[in-house]
Amino acid sequence: MPVTWFLLSLALGRSPIVLSLERLVGPQDATHCSPGLSCHLWDSDILCLPGDIVPAPGPVLAPTHLQTELVLRCRKETYCDLCVRVAVHLAVHGHWEEPEDEEKFGGAADSGVEEPRNASLQAQVVLSFQAYPTARCVLLEVQVPAALVQFGQSVGSVVYDCFEAALGSEVRIWSYTQPRYEKELNLTQQLPALPWLNVSADGDNVHLVLNVSEEQHFGLSLYWNQVQGPPKPRWHKNLTGPQIITLNHTDLVPCLCIQVWPLEPDSVRTNICPFREDPRAHQNLWRAARLRLLTLQSWLLDAPCSLPAEAALCWQAPGGDPCQPLVPPLSWENVTVDVNSWEKLQLQECLWADSLGPLKDDVLLLETRGPQDNRSLCALEPSGCTSLPSKASTRAARLGEYLLQDLQSGQCLQLWDDDLGALWACPMDKYIHKRWALLWLACLLFAAALSLILLLKKDHAKGWLRLLKQDVRSGAAARGRAALLLYSADDSGFERLVGALASALCQLPLRVAVDLWSRREMSAQGPVAWFHAQRRQTLQEGGVVVLLFSPGAVALCSEWLQDGVSAPGAHGPHDAFRASLSCVLPDFLQGRAPGRYVGACFDRLLHPDSVPALFRTVPVFSLPSQLPDFLGALQQPRAPRPGRLQERAEQVSRALQPALDSYFHPPGTPAPGRGVGPGAGDGT
């Protein structure tokens, strides 16, 4: 495509005429050679097939040196293409040999030998040119008269006009003969780019300085270059020079590229990617990377750019211990949670946290299957995988018999399964409860003995009771207030969003209950019975019931308020929200809801005014914009200080933000209003 003289002048310098670039008129390719040589260009390109090296039958012409020169191929006075002229220097290699038969040397086109010691040499020279996305091969026929044939000496050169290339591109050139007697020559050259485009740093900002004259109009685009698939546009504007574009350092990633072109018909677009080796860009890339769970056994790593990384599945015990590798490891096709790059841990996420709740003190049993239906079980522990049954002194070994019984009775949850083995999670709660029961029994005996002593010393009884009362109060405060979270299961994406909110609230002094984490208990008891039990326990402990409203929840509430019943089959079998309406509504109708219930909804999904008026008799908060007020209502009557409350709200907001981004802006769709540079929202 023709390039305006404006763009070539920018690339070649302020005064390109000083460079005295030769202009070629017309689109035809041509060739010429040194005096005394004759040369001819084949009419069309050929296939780029070098072939194998074959022995030379005698003296032959061989390329010895490649030389390039930039010229201009102009179709009009001001519309030219940058073109690469290539000169191939030739020399005579090999020695004369007495011909064994006439047919071998006397006129063979490929040997170039006519008569021994008194013949001209002929050669077919191939020029191969590559400049992404262009690849061409041309064939030049050269003949050297016998008078110029001197062994080991240069005989001249043949020049080809010319290969077109874009500004800033990297060109690669090869040359060899056909047939090929020697290794091909090669040359790599970087064509002039855009010296008028400068990238500079200013504190936390990066400036793109475009030193273009005021009368020049050009387009500028920022995009993420992708190894697979089309580029992802980030920002685009038509500008008039000069310009300074400001980028925040957090917007830099290695694949962020700049594309610029003159606002002329059929103009060539020039690309530059200046941040490929920038350390800040690589740090930002990993900060933006996210692991997303698609199903229980498939995952997706979201990142702006392609990432060279290694992933592995690991397990982690409660308490912040390091993530331990699975021994033996599971198949690579399954969910991975560790991502390493350049032997450094870059990303670690628990992909099941939103669906299974916070980390539990469960035991992971790894089942390995061998030939003839042989199988073995071991329990994952920090010290390794303990075989079951075992006489070792570890916790899993001591409880090995009970764990195997739980596995056989179906009380363990299967996390993964294939032909080689399976992974199970077996709860440890009941064994912990047994230990606590023994401890409480000992405490009661100690309390009884202490009471007898206090009866003997009445003067000190009031002091002991006062201390005991303070201990009970402090213990209740440490446990946190109970919160029951009710929602309508509109879709799987909303369920993941609810799970993220519940997980974030668990980081505060709150004890959160949600049906998403209790599917086994709900299936055994039924949704209505499960909700009644949870509601009664929550309110008896002075807790709060949170009604999380969504479009589906509003529709269901309106349906109950109108008809008093809900259409059967409208919701799933585990929807506790539907089951809860039968006893939630009486609390609101009889005025018992204030102080026991709060409402919430997500910004951009539902406005608080859309909640039915009956349920707005209690506070309804919009999240995350009203998180401080929402957390204050949940933690009443012992709400923390305002500064502490704001800090907790920011903590919950950070934990909730990835789930909100995933729900409202699925991967592959750019967030509205988010761009780089001035006027990002106005780009096209």
Q: Are 305 and 278 in contact (CB under 8 A)?
A: no
Question: What is the structure's pLDDT at 1?
Answer: 39
The C-alpha atoms of residue 658 and residue 290 are separated, in whole angstroms, by 8
What's the mean pLDDT in 420-442? 69
**Of the listed ranges 79-93, 354-368, 534-548, the one predicted with least confidence:** 354-368
Q: Is the pLDDT of residue 432 over 70?
A: no
**Of the listed ranges 97-106, 188-197, 286-295, 652-661, the one predicted with least confidence:** 97-106
For helices 429-456 and 461-479, what crossing angle results, to 10°? Answer: 160
Choose between 284 and 443: higher pLDDT: 284
CB count, 10 Å around CB of 305?
21
Question: What is the structure's pLDDT at 125?
Answer: 94
String of DSSP letters for 126-144: EEEEEETTEEEEEEEEEEE
What is the per-residue pLDDT across 56-74, written as a single tens digit (0 to 9) for each? Answer: 888 888 999 999 998 888 7
Q: What percent of the chain shows pLDDT beyond 70?
A: 71
Residue closest to 255 by CA, chosen among 282, 230, 290: 282
What's the mean pLDDT in 638-651? 78
pLDDT band for 481, please (50, 70, 90 cuts): confident
Choose between 73 and 361: higher pLDDT: 73
Q: Are 584 and 635 in contact (CB under 8 A)?
A: no
Global confidence as pTM: 0.40
Q: Is the pLDDT of residue 102 over 60?
A: no
Choose between 337 and 288: higher pLDDT: 288
Choose between 354 and 490: higher pLDDT: 490
Choose between 617 and 525: higher pLDDT: 617
pLDDT band for 51, please (50, 70, 90 cuts): confident
Q: Is the pLDDT of residue 390 over 90?
A: no
The C-alpha atoms of residue 591 and residue 438 are separated, in whole angstroms, by 44
Q: Which residue bears the tokens 């005021």?
A: 214
The C-alpha atoms of residue 123 and residue 66 are separated, in whole angstroms, by 16
What is the per-residue pLDDT across 246-299, written as a single tens digit (0 to 9) for each? Answer: 888 888 898 888 888 778 776 667 777 888 888 888 888 888 888 776 665 666
Q: DSSP assignment, residue 281?
A: H
How would you list the strands of the sheet with 344-348, edge to edge?
310-312, 338-341, 344-348
pLDDT band for 571, please (50, 70, 90 cuts): very low
Q: Is the pLDDT of residue 383 over 70?
A: yes
Question: What is the structure's pLDDT at 159?
Answer: 94
What's the one-letter identity of residue 180? R
The C-alpha atoms of residue 127 and residue 294 are separated, in whole angstroms, by 51
Torsion, CA 438, CA 440, CA 441, CA 445, rounded to 10: 140
Q: Is 26 left (phi over 0), alpha (psi -120 to 50) or beta?
A: left
pLDDT band for 473, please (50, 70, 90 cuts): very low
Residue closest to 339 by CA, chosen among 295, 277, 285: 285
| Alpha carbon distances (Å) from 467 to 320, 449, 464 | 34, 17, 5
What's the one-letter identity of residue 362? D
How would you list the strands of the sheet with 256-262, edge to edge?
232-240, 217-224, 256-262, 270-272
The C-alpha atoms of residue 411 and residue 424 are separated, in whole angstroms, by 10
| Alpha carbon distances (Å) from 285 to 275, 278, 308, 491, 535 | 11, 11, 12, 31, 45
Q: Is the pLDDT of residue 80 over 60?
A: yes
Q: Are 367 and 421 in contact (CB under 8 A)?
A: yes
Q: Is the pLDDT of residue 639 over 70?
A: no
Question: What is the structure's pLDDT at 107?
Answer: 44
pLDDT band for 78, please (50, 70, 90 cuts): low
Q: Which tokens hold the place of 594? A: 């204030």
Residue closest to 411 by CA, chosen among 429, 386, 436: 429
Averaged pLDDT score across all residues of the chain:
76
pLDDT band for 673, please (50, 70, 90 cuts): very low
What's the mean pLDDT in 100-125? 58
**Of the listed ranges 182-191, 210-219, 253-262, the one predicted with least confidence:** 210-219
Q: DSSP assignment, residue 324?
A: E
The C-alpha atoms of residue 137 and residue 42 are separated, in whole angstroms, by 11
Q: Is the pLDDT of residue 576 over 80?
A: no
The C-alpha atoms of residue 543 and residue 675 are separated, in whole angstroms, by 44
Question: What is the structure's pLDDT at 195?
Answer: 57
* Rg over CA atoms, the chain: 39
Q: What percent of the chain shows pLDDT beyond 90?
A: 14
**Of the listed ranges 293-297, 353-357, 549-553, 667-671, the one predicted with least confidence:** 667-671
What is the per-residue pLDDT across 119-178, written as a single tens digit (0 to 9) for each? Answer: 788 999 999 998 866 789 999 999 998 888 878 888 999 999 988 887 667 789 999 999
What's the mean pLDDT in 229-257? 85
DSSP H helices, 266-311, are: 279-288
Q: Is the pLDDT of residue 548 over 50?
A: yes
pLDDT band for 318, please (50, 70, 90 cuts): low
Q: Is 427 left (phi over 0), alpha (psi -120 to 50) or beta?
A: beta
Q: Is the pLDDT of residue 53 over 50?
A: yes
What's the mean pLDDT in 470-476? 45
pLDDT band for 640, please (50, 70, 90 cuts): low
Question: What is the structure's pLDDT at 634?
Answer: 87
